[in-house]
Structure 1
Amino acid sequence: MVFRMRNNARFTHVQPIGLDKVAAAAGSDPDVLRLENLDTDVPPPPAAVEATARALTEGRGNSWLPLNGLPELREAIAADLRVRTGLDYDPIRQIVVTSGGTSAVMPVLLATTQPGERVVLTDPTYAGLFQRVRLSGAEPHLVPLVVADGGWRLDREALERVDHAAALLLMSPSMPSGVVFDHDDWAAVARVCERTDAYLIYDAAMERIVYDGHPRINPCRVAGLAERTVVIGSVSKEYRMIGWRIGWVAGPPQIMERIGVTTIYNTTVASGFAQMGAAVALSQPSGVEAAVAEYQARHDTVIEQLDGLPVVRAGGGWSCLVDAEAIGMSAPELSARLLERGRVAATPMTAWGEKVAGRYVRLVYSAEPVGRLLELRARFSAAIG
């Protein structure tokens, strides 16, 4: 008798993230412009590296305990959040350390939603958010981002039409578009949350990676949102500490009790020695402003190189999007031609939304310096003829 895998409804609509296939196809060829994933060549804070290495050398942090995070890191997170949000989070009752920011998403979804309930996201949005909603058993409801004056904005009219939801799961700046929400956007979010009695799950991973002229607004400072907002953060983007895999969740005490339990049963505990490095990154000057200036220089180079092509400016973050269908091909086709003919690795956004995302290819500039990005126009020309 041949064993056959049983059906699993959770996977009916779940799509692969895509960037791993593009990375595998690119291989290790040094000539390829690596614009497919969120690695970065901007180094992490030296003090954080030293603290992590010292913890390893001294044998500290090699423990299961405490399950929800080291006290020194939770205190550092609370201090950082006080500056960002204006709120005083209790480090023990209101903060849970996780194995990276993205690993926090599933425990938060399981704690705030039930199967079949609606979770509102933008289209496009990070595939790691969108597909986790599906895996959790909740139902994603996508609100489009629209292009206006060469950049992205939230379709507030579509958002205001949301009539029921358990949670809104949002980023600002958001991957992959780089859209940055202004005060009116967050006020619209607050109205929807109040009307539907929904949580706001706010992925703040890139909150400080904002470019000139765009507001940097933490939603907890907007009327009506602080008491219902669950904040997810990490050291991966702002602090360039991807491999540390340290993130956190902060929110109202009642829901944090559930999130703490769910996190323990999901990953047990985050790396102890990595937590020590993260605590130092949060507590000392860590080069965030210099890193943001470098990313903006790279973003601006991409926009200049692709002048005349349908590329959309980002307000922040590490990536921007080019409209493949406006060029005359599908996103997977443009991705394939960029790699084969232009030696550019770039991911199609087929798993990153629905009607909007599927027509775009993402260009990540976090791991390629300006000098290499100056080749982008010639490589696009080779790809699209």
Structure 2
Amino acid sequence: MTVSRLKDIPGIGVDKMGDAADAEHNRNILRLENLDTDLRPPAEAIARTHAAIDDDDANSYLPFVGQAALREAVAARMRQSAGVRYDPHTECIVSAGGLAGVLNVLLSILEPGDEVVLTDPTYAGLINRVRLAGGTPKFARLVPGIDGWRLDLDSLAQAVGPRTRALLVMSPSMPSGFVATAREWEAIAAQCRRADAWLVYDAAMERIVFDGRPAIQPASLPEMRERTITVGSVSKEFRMIGWRVGWIVGPASIMADVRLTSLSNVVCQVGIGMPGATAALTSNDDGVARAVAEWQARRDWLLAALRDLPVIRPDGGWSLLIDTERLRLASDEASRLLLAKADVAATPMKGWGPQAGRYVRFVFANEPVARLADIRARVRVAWGV
């Protein structure tokens, strides 16, 4: 019998699509189903990781909160991105990937039944972690339009109530590519202040923004340093998925509890991964700008190739959504047809928010434009449109 904490957790769908594509052993399949990337990590990060394998200090549980050099690098990044100072010793913890950090934060701030406001759509893994931590997800709608995705501020206000303990926001957001504007961030901050709630900011893709949009760090907003817990990682911006290194930064008033939760959960981080992560954060050539330019070029190619289909423009991140219900196709059936008829692996968004089930996600981080060249013809074969 399934335990109660799992009864409302359907999974994320990506694992099933990835397994189905792997089982085909077909190199012609376009891998648009998961957030891998073919772009290389920073060279210095790779070199430092190789060296760490022979470094006995990297083969250690200690320090449990993460290597000091990495915590100092994270604090320096926060000074640069947010203009906010954090003590690397009391206000920063290294986590075994960003999502482990998110779960440890939620376990540290939620009582059973507390409500957490997320956007709709959003990453199913965030919704599932709210439930694992005993919280109740509430949703503020993202509205698609010719200007990409916008946050419905009335829906946001309605989602915040007496039991709201936190707002959990990702920008750029998976799976939509929503990037919050200054006005939207101020509305989010105002709701946090009104409800006396935490802002848990998933900053995994913070700098992956397109068309010159600014990367806004919410801890820099008035009265938000003491309300914001920022969770980041090297997985996306630095293309270091396999390192499993993330961080949590927040006010000392809550970080002592997050430290206790971290010690009680994953215990410590990947020792040989942290020197490479430090190198990425401190490198003079981290490759982020070049990577963002390449991902934007892939986005632009897909938007042009699929312009006659109901595609919503992402303003950042690694993926875009297609509204298959407007084509009179259920998203799971649309996904099945893509793989069976057109060698395209793409994940349906059921479980990624109340309105997300109508969409199929195309990830453009792992396939170059040359491989995407016939995407419109493939979609036509699969869907007949």
By the TM > 0.5 criterion, same fold? Answer: yes
| Gapped regions of structure 1 (runs ≥ 5) | none
1:85 aligns with one of 82, 85, 106:
82
Separation in 2, partners of 1:310, 1:194: 37
- AA in 1 matched with 2:167: L
Shift of 1:137: 0.8
Matches within 5 A, 1:35-54: 35-54=32-51
Please state if 1:333 is matched with 2:333: yes
- AA in 2 matched with 1:371: A
Separation in 2, partners of 1:248, 1:213: 26
1:296 is matched with which residue? 296
SS of the residue 1:206 aligns to:
coil
Contact residue 48 and residue 281 of structure 1 kept, 8 A:
yes
Summarize deviations over 1:18-59 as a string: whole Å, max 9, x none. Answer: 111111111231000000000100000010000010111233
- AA in 1 matched with 2:297: A
1:361 is matched with which residue? 360
- AA in 2 matched with 1:217: I
Deviates more, 1:71-80 or 1:143-152: 143-152
Separation in 2, partners of 1:247, 1:305: 35
Separation in 1, partners of 2:178, 2:232: 18
Shift of 1:150: 4.9
Separation in 2, partners of 1:26, 1:271: 29
Separation in 2, partners of 1:122, 1:381: 31
1:110 is matched with which residue? 107
1:262 is matched with which residue? 261
TM-score, normalised with respect to structure 2: 0.97
Matches within 5 A, 1:143-182: 143-161=140-158, 162-164=160-162, 165-182=164-181
1:136 is matched with which residue? 133
2:316 is matched with which residue? 316
2:97 aligns with one of 96, 100, 105:
100
2:5 is matched with which residue? 10
Contact residue 183 and residue 222 of structure 1 kept, 8 A:
no
Contact residue 246 and residue 271 of structure 1 kept, 8 A:
yes
Shift of 1:370: 0.6
Separation in 1, partners of 2:79, 2:259: 21
Determine what percentage of the aligned residue pairs are the same residue.
Answer: 49
TM-score, normalised with respect to structure 1: 0.97
Provide runs of 4+ in structure 1 moved above 6 Å. none
- AA in 1 matched with 2:337: R
Please state if 1:123 is matched with 2:120: yes
1:24 is matched with which residue? 19
Shift of 1:272: 1.3
Shift of 1:278: 0.4
1:348 is matched with which residue? 348
Separation in 2, partners of 1:115, 1:71: 34
Matches within 5 A, 1:128-277: 128-161=125-158, 162-164=160-162, 165-277=164-276
SS of the residue 1:257 aligns to:
helix
Separation in 2, partners of 1:88, 1:215: 20
Separation in 2, partners of 1:292, 1:375: 23
SS of the residue 2:308 aligns to:
coil
Shift of 1:12: 1.9
1:381 is matched with which residue? 380
Contact residue 233 and residue 248 of structure 1 kept, 8 A:
yes
- AA in 1 matched with 2:281: L
For the structure 1 residues 88 and 150, does the alpha-carbon distance in structure 2 shift closer, same or farther, using more than 3 Å as the test? Answer: closer
Shift of 1:9: 1.6
Cα RMSD (Å): 1.0
